Amino acid sequence: MENSPFANSPFMTGEIFTPDGLGVFYRAGLKASFLVAFALYVVFAIVVIRQVFLMEHTINTPLHFVLKVFAIGHLIVSLFVFLLAFLVL
Amino acid sequence: MPTIFDASAEEQKKKQKAVEQQLADIQRERKQNLKKNQAKKTKKTANSVPKKTLKLTNSTGIPQIEHASIPTAETDQKSEISFSKTEKNVPKDRPSMTSKPTANPTPQTTPTTPSAKRRPEEYSSVLRGERPSNGIFAAFMPQPHGVGFESQHEHEEILLVLRQHPVVNVVWVTITIILMLAPFLLFPMIPLQVILPGVYMFFLMVAWYLFVTAYVIESFLGWYFNIYIITDERIIDIDFYSLIYKSVSEAKIEKIEDVTSTTAGFFGAFFNYGNIAIQTAAEKREFEFARVPQPAKITKFLNELMIEEEREKIEGRVM
């Protein structure tokens, strides 16, 4: 095992798992994962808006204005988080 | 809860006979009234006198009433007084003099014509005992204000709107609290900082709380938009299973065949909520109002609606 040519590689020593040892591909993969997750959340926020508007069409309740405002605010926050992650990570 | 359909055939026949008897009485009364009116009219024409023409003036000298037919002593109080007048000096808010006086005005609530609908308070003891609801998050809303639905007819009135009992929300609220506290309890135990830089840790927290928000939104909307509506014509079940799946089904009151309510479990008995299964002859055979508050009251109300629907049919008041 000690004579293996990969014995001192970051994968074998475990340095790959430390923040300093993160490779370029690992970092890129991590960033892509976060961005995909946040992008999915933006899609979810759009579906929520669509659903709230659709349900308002189906049944009218006094809370609909509040729900609409909340749904739109929720989409804005999710877009902000996505952009922040895209710029910072 | 026994329904009218549980009653024996004899009882139903008795009820029907009673309603028919009542109908016959009403018709007889109407015929008598009609005969009386005709007799009066013939009498009036026989005793009619030529109209005297009067010219009345007010203090300003403007003629107010040009003609008035003075009733003779023989004509009764109900006889019509016809005024031909100048409306210039009459305030708008004052009732018009040309309007026919009604000797015995009948309230609007009582059916005067065969097509008239009765007010729900007249036939429903459940609605009589309830106040119209203003609650936004209420689960039992009799005659709610500001609520309407897509396929509502012009003269259709919403009598009761139901949701699942608020106590069912305790489960997702508890899970939410646990999920919100989890980062503070779990993250110190997992050495995430070893494999993730600080900025990734921050975004991991953000992603976690967004996930919790999504769970809260999904759970809340699932409860809030899962609605059962009872109108004076039909029952409507709006199911909102998830953000991308909803179903709306409805059945006419007259199609309802059987109503069964079930209260089960400790929470159900303690908070008085349960399921109501409604068998119908409509396309959707069974409706279920799941975990609704006061199931016995709702069953009673549905029975009252069914009886009223039958009565409408018998009396020919079906719109």
Tens digits of per-residue pLDDT, B174-195?
999 999 999 888 877 877 777 7
Q: Does A82 touch chain B (CB under 8 A)?
A: no
**Minimum CA–CA partner of A49 in chain B:** B243
**Minimum CA–CA partner of B248 in chain A:** A58
**Minimum CA–CA partner of A31 in chain B:** B200
**A15: pLDDT confidence band, cut at 50, 70 and 90?**
low
Chain B: give the shortest CA distance to residue A37, in Å: 8
Q: How many CB atoms lie within 10 A of CB A14?
A: 11
Is B194 within 8 Å of A89 when comparing Cβ atoms?
Answer: no
pLDDT at B108 over 50: no
CA–CA gap between residue B96 and residue B80 (Å, rounded): 14
- The kind and range of the H/E element at A38 are helix A24-58
Q: Does B191 touch chain A (CB under 8 A)?
A: no
**In this predicted structure, what is the pLDDT of residue B41?**
61
Mean residue pLDDT of chain A comes to: 82
pLDDT at B70 over 50: no
ipTM metric: 0.76
**In this predicted structure, what is the pLDDT of residue A5?**
66
Residues of A in contact with B199 (CB under 8 A): 88-89
**In this predicted structure, what is the pLDDT of residue B137?**
83
Interface of B with A in 108-137 (CB under 8 A): 136-137
- The kind and range of the H/E element at A60 are strand A59-60
Look-up of token digits 């070893």: B194
Look-up of token digits 């494999």: B195
Interface of A with B in 11-30 (CB under 8 A): 17-19, 22, 30
Is A85 within 8 Å of B197 when comparing Cβ atoms?
Answer: no
Contact assessment for residue B304 and residue B124, using Cβ atoms and an 8 Å cutoff: yes
**Minimum CA–CA partner of B242 in chain A:** A51
What are the pLDDT digits (tens) for B110-140?
444 445 677 877 777 888 877 777 777 888 8
- The kind and range of the H/E element at A59 are strand A59-60
pLDDT at B215 over 90: yes
Q: Does B215 touch chain A (CB under 8 A)?
A: no
**In this predicted structure, what is the pLDDT of residue A8?**
67
In this prediction, residues A15-32 reach a mean pLDDT of 69
Q: Does B206 touch chain A (CB under 8 A)?
A: yes
Q: Does A49 touch chain B (CB under 8 A)?
A: no
- Lowest mean pLDDT segment, chosen from A56-65, B43-52, B86-95: B86-95
CA–CA gap between residue A66 and residue A55 (Å, rounded): 13
A19, A51, A59: residue with CB nearest B221: A51
Is A60 within 8 Å of B243 when comparing Cβ atoms?
Answer: no
Residues of A in contact with B244 (CB under 8 A): 47, 51
pLDDT at A82 over 90: yes
pLDDT at B170 over 90: yes
Give pTM, 2 decimals. Answer: 0.63
**Minimum CA–CA partner of A39 in chain B:** B207
Is A62 within 8 Å of B145 when comparing Cβ atoms?
Answer: yes
Chain A: give the shortest CA distance to residue B92, in Å: 37
Contacts across the A-B interface (CB distance below 8 Å) = 79
Query: B207 vs B16, which has greater pLDDT?
Result: B207
**In this predicted structure, what is the pLDDT of residue B208?**
93
A37, A48, A88: residue with CB nearest B217: A48
Q: What percent of chain B has pLDDT over 90?
A: 15
B194, B213, B224: residue with CB nearest A18: B194
3-class SS shares of chain A: helix, strand, coil, % to 5: 75, 0, 20
Contact assessment for residue B276 and residue B289, using Cβ atoms and an 8 Å cutoff: yes
**Minimum CA–CA partner of B199 in chain A:** A89
Q: Does A79 touch chain B (CB under 8 A)?
A: no
A58, A60, A89: residue with CB nearest B203: A89
CA–CA gap between residue B168 and residue A5 (Å, rounded): 61
Which of A69-78, B21-30, B179-188 reaches the highest mean pLDDT?
A: A69-78
Q: How many CB atoms lie within 10 A of CB A33?
A: 13
Query: A89 vs B78, which has greater pLDDT?
Result: A89
Going along chain B, which residue ranges are E strands? 56-57, 63-68, 83-85, 140-142, 148-149, 158-162, 227-231, 234-242, 245-252, 256-262, 273-280, 286-293
Chain B: give the shortest CA distance to residue A6, in Å: 21
